[in-house]
Amino acid sequence: MSGKTTTADHTLAGHSKSLGKRLSNDFVKNRGAYLMLIPVLAFFLIFHYRPMYGAIIAFKDFRPNLGILGSPWTSHYGFGHFVSFFNSVFFNRTLQNTLIISISTLVFSFPLPIILALSINEVKNRYFKKTVQTLSYMPHFISLVVVCSMVMLFTSETAFIAQIMNFFGFNVTSNLLNSADAFVPIYVVTALWRTTGWSAIIYLAALSTINTELYEAARVDGAGRFKQTLHVTLPGISTTIILLLILAIGNIMNIGWEKIVLLYNEFNAPSSDVIASFVFRRGLVHGDFSFATAVGLFNSAINFVLVLIANGICRKATGSGLW
């Protein structure tokens, strides 16, 4: 019996050959697209997957002269740096600030691009629509350093924002960035100004794929513009909304350290010090690479768990998800 081939073996072999032939034919037919894919694959392999090997230093007392493999393992069975971070005075502050800033940004930055895309989609004047769309996503291309410099100027005690606040009874005597209570609103508002228009492009692309016959059928049934939006437009882009929501929740802990570091000072530190800026200070400023890697790995692990939870909830609630 063991020396005989069965029908299933022949079928599997034939299927493998057929699959290999289809793949080779597809490569020949679309060789241009595959060649364009090579730089993208190389980028992710070199800058995303290859560096994952270095995450092992989170469990070691890394010493450059000994290398990654030669460095000794840290205490607590390799989890010494994690234990030190959990017991440090910075753990509660950085975690709390990260969640506050991220959730505040998500609450406002996620629905606004959808609203902007729906508003632009309702505009009939082509030139006005293109103008609004262009002006809305232009801030995305402004350098973050320039944006932060503008924020510092606009929030000074002599700028128009302070003058308006003083007019309404607020006593602004110094730069608003020196106030820990004002940091989160400033961060969220500048993030909205810089990203809303750019994020709306994805929803505008999704809106363009909706069958126009559905709107005609809705109008025949007596549906107005609001009901058309409610029963045709939103269901048409619901899959895109769900996928982007899952990705946004999975990035809750990923606050870019660049903007935080540029706006950071000793006065707003109680509200602005997040995990990303803490990793930057410990890793690049103080040279504690192992500890910084452990904190960054902890941050990534939380994001991974959040993606799983968000995907599971969306899958059960709507039937759509990343997988």
Question: Looking at residue 12, what is its pLDDT?
Answer: 47
Across 34-53, average pLDDT: 89
pLDDT, residue 15, reads: 53
Residue range 187-217, pLDDT digits in tens: 999 999 999 999 999 999 999 888 888 888 8
d(CA 113, CA 121): 12
Q: Residue 64 corresponds to which tokens in the numbers above?
A: 């450059």
What integer pLDDT is reported at residue 1 of this predicted model?
A: 45
| One domain for residues 131 and 272 | yes
**45 & 192 share domain:** no
Give a yes or no: residue 224 inside a domain.
yes
Q: What is the mean pLDDT of residues 118-135?
A: 88
* pLDDT at res. 223: 84
Tell me, yes or no, whether 170 and 300 share the same domain.
yes
In terms of domains, do 53 and 105 share one? Answer: no
Domain assignment present for residue 147? The answer is: yes
Q: What pLDDT does 111 receive?
A: 93
Inside any domain, residue 73:
no
On whether both 94 and 55 belong to a single domain, the answer is: no
In the chain, the number of structural domains is: 2
Q: Is the pTM of this model over 0.85?
A: no
Decide if 1 is inside a domain.
no
Instruction: Let me know whether 164 and 211 are in one domain.
Output: yes
In a domain, 12, yes or no: yes
Q: What gap in Å lies between CA 289 and CA 279, rounded to an integer? A: 9
Comparing 6-10, 168-172, 279-283, which segment has the lowest mean pLDDT? 6-10
Rounded distance between C-alpha atoms, residue 8 and residue 87, angstroms: 59
Q: Given a cut of 80, is residue 275 above it in pLDDT?
A: yes
pLDDT digits (tens, 9 = 90+) for 229-266: 888 899 889 889 988 988 888 888 888 788 888 898 88
- Residue range of the domain that includes 42: 7-59
Asked if the structure places residue 64 within a domain, the reply is no
Give tens-digit pLDDT for 5-27: 555 454 545 555 577 788 888 88
